[in-house]
Amino acid sequence: MSQADPDGTAPEGRVAGDGVAPTVLAQERRLHRDLGFWGLTAIGFSNIVGSGWLFAAMYAAQTAGPAALLSWIGAGLLCALVALVMIELGATRPEGGGTVRWPLYASGRLVGTLVGWSVLLSVGGTAAEISAIMQYMAHYWPAIYNGHTLTLTGLGVAAGLSVLLTALNWFAVRLFARLNNLVSVFKVVVPVVTVVALFASGWHSGRLTDHGGFAPYGYAACLTALAGGGIVYSVNGFQAPLDFSAETPNPRRTIPASVLTGIALALLMYLALQVAFLFSVPEQLLGHGWRGVSFDSPFGQLALILNLHWLSSLLYADAVLSPGGSAYVGVAIDARHTYALAKNGTLPRFFMRVDPRSGIPRRALLLNLVVIVLFLLPFGGWQSIVRVMGDMYLLIYAASAVAVAVFRADPGGAGTAGWVPGLRWIAPLSFVVSSEFVYWSGWHDLRLALPLVLAGLVLFVTMWRPDHGSSLAGELRTGTWMVVYLGVLTLLSWLGTFKGSGRLPAPYDSVTVAAVSLAVFFWAVRSGVRQLTAERLRAMAV
């Protein structure tokens, strides 16, 4: 028996025989394998291209000026590194809600619970898409948005939209894929038309050097723009096909191709939109530099200023459809995550049930509907949700880098022959880069995000049961690295120069984060291999 999951299910689908595994496997078999390459690619692309393309170009320019182009390229490199890690896991260990399951396999219940809790919190990303729809709808219905947050009327409309998206996900996955393919086509056409129209309306030369130069706020602002400017949030979503890896007939072939294709298409589109925004903003709006350029609906209002009324009408229509498409996919992904959390035992197994006719985890859908509506209450604006949610996603990437290294290092594991070459150095580099991106998002965001994740310790203690197969002390030893990691990142954020106290000056703050992250990574891998060995010995004893 290799790498048995604490629930009694090995990653390869074998059973460790604790009485719970048959229930888990029965629900997993109800998932329908109806998604091919184009369906998975459309899921990834649609999840990446949501409200980000409508807002991030302006927020990034406000934060870093023209140097925001470097931020997009940096985000693309992050995607490439993390995608290789995730592709390895998705292609060799396909499973519904895999991004939640892999950290549990590799690092035990404590890490699995903290990652699962952060995933549950990241449901707020779907709330962000719905909030973005409301902001653009305010162009026609001002009563739903007051310029900063949703009004009471807006909250009611947003809640109704959440119910509609949940209802559309209620039926078979094949119907979901077909609807999403149609939405994805529109989501490609409108941004392309926008870029061409803005370029044709007028090209203001010298934009890369005027108004403070290429980096008017310093190159450090490029790092801040990654999270604070919404770039990380905007390019995030490429991992979406991985959570459907149990619903495709040939994951080894379709998962890598669909993930990489989705990233390439989305990154090219975002770079084109950023360039179009930088070169088409009228000169009179730049009197106070790029930080003085502010729109409630960036591309829609810019089109009106440039007398492109037809484009503005098209954009305001797409402003509902594009984030709506991402929210539609987000609701489906959230349900797979919640389903996986129930399999983990982080949530009650009541939410694990898959409807046998549709292949949809409907109870998980209903739970996520409640969480989405709750997120709409305290966070009314797109950017305020984005700042915290970007950090949550990056923690998931870091945990996945540890997982793939643990599976590679485990001498008794069946998955030691890897699918992606070079993971020996890709995995630690991906962990370090993910940590840096979390740190660069700034103290004002991390002081909320990281303690929120650590609050998952309460969930871990509450859901712990003696029949999980390992001792509580053993689980604490195996997962302590995650608690230390989050605590040290919070401390370094307060000490550092990214909206912190500045007691640890640049670039030594980022160097310290890299050194600490590398040390934590190897600690985590060693703990994970020890945990898998102990699990195997217990299974053999039984």
Handedness of CA 442, 447, 449, 453 (dihedral sign): positive
pLDDT for 10 beyond 50: no
For range 398-425, the mean pLDDT: 77
Tell me the pLDDT of the chain averaged across its residues: 79
pTM: 0.74
Domain ranges for the chain, please list them.
33-533
First vs last C-alpha separation in the chain? 11
Query: Model confidence over 415-472: pLDDT tens digits?
Result: 444 567 788 899 999 999 889 878 877 788 788 788 888 888 888 888 777 655 667 7
Write down the pLDDT at residue 411. 66
- Which pLDDT belongs to residue 55? 79
- CA atoms within 13 A of residue 12's CA, in its CB half-sphere: 10
Other beta carbons within 10 angstroms of residue 453's beta carbon come to 20
CATH topology of domain 33-533: Amino acid/polyamine transporter I (1.20.1740)
- Band of residue 56 on the pLDDT scale cut at 50, 70, 90: confident
User: What pLDDT was estimated at residue 139?
Assistant: 73
Q: Could you tell me what percentage of the chain is helix, strand and coil, using 3-state DSSP and rounding each to the nearest 5?
A: 75, 0, 25
pLDDT of 24 reads: 55
β-sheet bridge partners, residue 224: none
Residue 12's pLDDT is 39
Greatest mean pLDDT among 300-309, 353-362, 413-422, 480-489: 480-489
Q: Is 202 left (phi over 0), alpha (psi -120 to 50) or beta?
A: left
- Categorize the per-residue pLDDT at 199 as very low, low, confident or very high, splitting at 50, 70 and 90: confident
Q: Minimal CA–CA distance to 459: which of 347, 339, 337?
A: 347
Asked whether the CA dihedral 192, 195, 201, 205 is positive or negative, the reply is negative
* pLDDT (average), residues 316-340: 78
Mean pLDDT along residues 257-269? 85
Q: What is the pLDDT of residues 87-133, one digit of tens each?
A: 888 777 877 677 888 898 889 889 988 888 887 777 777 787 788 78
Residue 415's pLDDT is what?
A: 47
pLDDT class of 5 with cuts at 50, 70, 90? very low
In tens, the pLDDT along 225-239 reads 876 666 776 777 777
Q: Does the pLDDT of residue 481 top 90, yes or no? A: yes
Confidence at residue 246, expressed as pLDDT on a 0 to 100 scale: 66
CA distance 404 to 83: 12
Tell me the average pLDDT across 260-281: 88
How far is Cα 95 from Cα 340, in angstroms, rounded to an integer?
A: 9
pLDDT for 15 beyond 60: no
Q: Mean pLDDT over residues 387-400, rounded? A: 74
Assess whether pLDDT exceeds 60 at residue 509. yes
pLDDT computed for residue 514 by the predictor: 94
Q: Which of 241-245, 283-287, 513-517 has the highest mean pLDDT?
A: 513-517
Q: Are 97 and 333 in contact (CB under 8 A)?
A: no
pLDDT at 467: 59
Section 248-263 average pLDDT: 80
- 171 has a pLDDT exceeding 50: yes
pLDDT over 80 (residue 208): yes
Highest mean pLDDT among 313-317, 418-422, 517-521: 517-521
Assess contact for 195 and 276: CB atoms under 8 A: yes
